[in-house]
């Protein structure tokens, strides 16, 4: 009797694995940065907050064919956030915490950007797993050196990629979203009079 149930349980396990899908790692890191013109930089030193816990946060979102993708949004988008700030300000540094007013003032930091990131992905493909659509959003609370809120800024980027474009570049839609997010973030910062 036991031998009859064994093949059935193996088949059921295999089916559950197929239905559950796999998780594939991708990256959102982009080398594209907004232009930086020394003549138009705001003469301030600003900081962004990025903790080790932020960098270690792994996110899993949908891909195609029932599979999912995993990535580290803070680690991957840190360069994008830094590039967006460097396109506007003369000097940009990273902080592990926003709350140390004395250290901020001693370092000459005028503004502190604390980013929160949201992402999502999807795919129109039933055959391949890489996402064909990706969205990334960053919302920053901006404080002065003493920790008083000055304003908030938000930027979003959407990226798409078709099956024929991947060619081994499985995070293409994610990187396109990151590139657009970077450009929009620097634009939103420039537009905000409180951040000059």
By residue count, the chain amounts to: 196
Q: What is the pLDDT of residue 111?
A: 96
Q: What is the pLDDT of residue 20?
A: 53
| Cα 32 to Cα 90, 168, 171, distances in angstroms | 19, 19, 15
pLDDT in tens, 7-51: 444 443 343 344 457 999 999 999 889 999 999 999 999 999 999
What is d(CA 170, CA 123) in angstroms, rounded to the nearest whole number? Answer: 12
Q: What is the pLDDT of residue 108?
A: 93
pLDDT in tens, 152-173: 999 999 999 998 888 889 999 9
Tell me if 101 sits within 8 A of 109, measured CB to CB.
Answer: no
Residue 148 pLDDT level (bands cut at 50, 70, 90): very high
3-state secondary structure of 16: helix
What is the DSSP annotation of 105-139? HHTT--EEEEEEEEEEEE-S-SS--S-SEEEEEEE
Please state the domain extents for the chain: 22-195
CATH classification for the domain delimited by 22-195, as one of 1.10.10, 3.40.50, 2.60.40, 3.30.200: 3.40.50
Least confident of 8-12, 58-62, 161-165, 192-196: 8-12
**Residue 53 confidence (pLDDT) above 90:** yes
pLDDT in tens, 137-146: 999 999 999 9
Average pLDDT in the 170-194 region?
Answer: 97
Closest-CA residue to 88 (of 136, 21, 37):
37
**Residue 4 confidence (pLDDT) above 50:** no
Residue 38 CA from chain centroid, whole number: 27
**Residue 147 confidence (pLDDT) above 70:** yes
pLDDT in tens, 73-130: 999 999 999 999 999 999 999 998 877 778 888 889 999 999 999 999 999 888 889 9
Dihedral (Cα; 62, 68, 74, 78), 10-degree rounding: -90
* Residue that has been written with the tokens 């980027």 in this structure: 157
Q: What is the pLDDT of residue 97?
A: 81
């Amino acid at each position: 009797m036991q031998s009859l149930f064994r093949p059935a349980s193996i088949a059921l396990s295999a089916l559950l694995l197929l239905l559950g899908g796999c998780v594939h790692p991708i990256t959102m890191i982009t080398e594209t940065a907004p232009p930086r013109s020394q003549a138009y930089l705001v003469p301030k030193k600003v900081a962004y907050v990025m903790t080790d816990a932020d960098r270690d946060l792994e996110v899993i979102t949908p891909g195609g064919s029932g599979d999912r993708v995993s990535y580290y949004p803070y680690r991957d988008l840190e360069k994008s956030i830094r590039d967006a700030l460097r396109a506007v300000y003369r000097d940009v540094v990273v902080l592990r915490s926003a709350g140390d007013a004395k250290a901020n003032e001693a370092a000459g930091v005028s503004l502190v950007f604390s980013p929160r990131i949201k992402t999502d992905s999807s795919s129109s493909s039933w055959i391949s797993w890489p996402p064909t659509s990706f969205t990334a959003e960053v919302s920053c609370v901006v404080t002065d050196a003493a920790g008083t809120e000055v304003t908030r800024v938000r930027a979003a980027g959407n990226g798409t990629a078709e099956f024929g474009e991947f060619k081994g570049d499985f995070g293409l839609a994610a990187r396109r979203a990151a590139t657009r997010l970077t450009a929009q973030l620097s634009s939103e910062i420039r537009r905000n009079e409180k951040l000059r």
